[in-house]
């Protein structure tokens, strides 16, 4: 009984992961790293006078980039769900795996959200 449940859950998890839009996930993560670089964040601060937390920049980027991909690829309504699932997976994948690897490779690496905010 437990073997059947494990096999069924494993198969569903693998199918879920395979069906994600991996091109979107990987390019989104690379663009998010670029947007969150010191050079770009200081440029945004100079241009707008706002200090925007990393999570909000990433959320706005995911929304805007998702809409661009949706229209460029000509997705129908089911594409919205695919891109949303891929966005959520990208956030989790990035936080749990990529940040852990970077912290292990570069012990002095400190994520921006861990630093004190300039906002009161």
What would you report as the CA-atom Rg of the chain, rounded to the nearest whole angstrom? 18
How far is the C-alpha of 106 from the C-alpha of 120, rounded, in Å? Answer: 30
* pLDDT above 90: percentage of residues in the chain: 31
How far is the C-alpha of 73 from the C-alpha of 76, rounded, in Å? Answer: 9
The pair of three-digit structure tokens given for residue 5, joined into one six-digit string: 């449940």
Q: Residue 24: name the closest of 99, 100, 95, 88 by CA.
A: 88
| Cβ–Cβ < 8 Å for 114, 55 | no
Distances (CA, A) of 79 to 47, 49, 73, 84, 99: 34, 36, 9, 8, 28
- Using the predicted structure, report yes or no on whether residue 57 has a pLDDT greater than 60: yes
Domain ranges of the chain: 20-113
CA dihedral 87, 88, 93, 96 (to 10 degrees): 140
- End-to-end C-alpha distance for the chain, whole angstroms: 55
Give the model confidence (pLDDT) of 84-101 as tens digits: 999 999 988 877 776 677
The pair of three-digit structure tokens given for residue 44, joined into one six-digit string: 């945004």
Give the model confidence (pLDDT) of 59-75 as tens digits: 899 999 999 999 999 99
Residue in the block written with tokens 């990987």 = 26
The model's pTM is 0.71
């Amino acid at each position: 009984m437990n073997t059947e449940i494990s096999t069924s859950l494993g198969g569903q998890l693998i199918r879920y992961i395979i069906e994600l839009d991996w091109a979107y996930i990987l390019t989104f993560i690379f663009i998010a790293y670029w947007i969150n670089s010191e050079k770009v964040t200081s440029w945004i601060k100079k241009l707008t006078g706002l200090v925007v937390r990393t999570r909000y920049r990433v959320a706005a980027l995911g929304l805007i980039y998702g809409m661009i991909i949706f229209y460029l690829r000509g997705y129908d309504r089911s594409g919205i769900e695919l891109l949303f699932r891929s966005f959520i997976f990208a956030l989790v994948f990035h936080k749990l795996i990529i940040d852990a690897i970077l912290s292990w490779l570069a012990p002095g690496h400190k994520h921006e959200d861990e630093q004190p905010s300039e906002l009161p």
